A and B are shown apart, each in its own frame.
Chain A
Amino acid sequence: MSVLEIKNLQKTFGTLTVLKDISMTVERGEVVSIIGPSGSGKSTLLRCATLLERIDHGGLRYSNVQVAEDDKTGKCVYLPNNQLRKVKSMFGLVFQNFNLFPHYSILKNIIDAPICVQKRPKEEVVAEAMKLLDKMGLESKADAYPYQLSGGQQQRVSIARALINNPDILFFDEPTSALDPELTSEILKVIRELAMEHMTMVIVTHEIEFARKVSDRVVFMADGVIVEEGPADEVILHPKQQRTQMFLSKIIAER
């Protein structure tokens, strides 16, 4: 069974329909990159999938949990709040600006939610968090505070925070856009390592070369619809749709 299924999703802000009938399935272990011009609705799609925005129409399913779907009258209904909280441990989201909690130490940033929300035993969570920090090369920073870390290090902490509940799927929204170019590679390396461990991931990115190398599938979005999708090499090297070709040639020209 697929890890994530989005079905005929529609999202409107006021009079602006930002997502028009988006359908997308992500299989276990798959890495999907979403590319597309600014304002095409990539972030909104991730925000809908991670329950930061309510969808207006359509279905959203994580593994065997149907989170939202249209009822007979066409109104989209969500699971009750107490069940949504459980769903939130099934995915993780890595933000562009990290959004670490500045008043918590690095370790506490990672362990607080599993302990206070998921009610997992503290010793187990701490041990796991230390393992994750170790993997991110940050074991010496457990007691530091976010302001004492570089942007790249903060982003690695936020990845660890997203991984602590062993989510089925991890979303990234332009994880390197807020970073200096020389810090970008350390984050891309972490994502590549996760891909090799078969972590299921959906990555919104402007790093086309990276998207091609790391992902199994690339989705090209424009104006709230999926214009083209397919194997990474195919979409990026041999796009079929004119809209995709234009977008990619513009990006390459900017280099």
Chain B
Amino acid sequence: MEMLPPLAKGLVTSINIFLLTLLCACPLGMVIAFGRMNRHLVINGPIRLFISVMRGTPLMLQLLVVYFGPYYIFRVSLAGYPPFLAVIIAFSINYAVYFAEIYRAGIQSIPVGQYEAATVLGYSKLQTFFKIILPQVIKRILPPMTNETITLVKDTSLAQVIAVAEMFTIAKRLANAQSSVLALAVAGLFYYIFNFIVAMVMEKCEKCLDYYR
């Protein structure tokens, strides 16, 4: 029982990582997606390379680079650079890249006739995107976004590599101290419940958009 308060505290940190990452990665992904879809090679070229590197290397490595990079690569020591901030930066960029590819697939799946109908009716480019295209994109990307979001919940445990006291870090510490896997099992249960709620919320969103096809 006495392990619950520290675990709960770790859970709060995990939830914070999760929410802050989503908050940053969702809009950032949109920016990357538009860069990727830009007609000019000078813009879409580097973005393609960036996406390819971010998807082709482990998140854990990216996390280490973001945290230790400033010192080991550039010899700048950032006094009081909190590991938590590094986690948010690394996670946000990594997830933004995955989101960007989901957005792009969603945007490109909208039939060109939708743009043409909107253009003929006089909608401006912005109106067309926000009123006609985006709502349809959101409906189409919800299922893959649910997958990514659930993966993000589990990925929060990677923050342990730079000693952020999220739930997994604490569960491991407790398990070592008590020579028992009980703390890890409880943490596992918490992750499961967390994801159960996430999945439920996403399903609710999908239901809300069920009124059209």
A241 within 8 A of B: no
Chain B residues within an 8 Å CB radius of A189: none
CB <8 Å contact, A147 and B212: yes
Interface 1/0 per residue, B119-163 and A, CB below 8 Å:
111111001000110011001000000000000000000000000
* A interface residue count range (under 10 / 10 to 19 / 20 to 34 / 35 or more): 20 to 34
**With A and B bound together, what is the CA distance between A233 and B97 in angstroms?**
61
CB <8 Å contact, A50 and B113: no
Partner of A95, one of B113, B131, B211, B213: B113
Count, A-B residue pairs, CB within 8 A: 56
CB <8 Å contact, B116 and A102: no
Q: Which of A96-111 contact B (CB under 8 A)?
A: 97, 99-103
Known contacts A99-B116, A101-B114, A102-B136; is A145 also within 8 Å of B212 by CB?
A: yes
Q: Nearest CB to that of B138 among chain A residues?
A: A103
CB <8 Å contact, B116 and A118: no
Total residues of chain B contacting the partner, CB 8 A? 21
B117 within 8 A of A: yes
**With A and B bound together, what is the CA distance between A161 and B118 in angstroms?**
11
**With A and B bound together, what is the CA distance between A112 and B123 in angstroms?**
10
A155 within 8 A of B: no
CB <8 Å contact, A51 and B119: yes
**With A and B bound together, what is the CA distance between A103 and B122 in angstroms?**
18
Q: Taking the nearest CB of chain A, how far is it from the CB of B142, in angstroms?
A: 13
CB <8 Å contact, B212 and A85: no
CB <8 Å contact, B132 and A101: yes
Chain B residues within an 8 Å CB radius of A145: 211-213
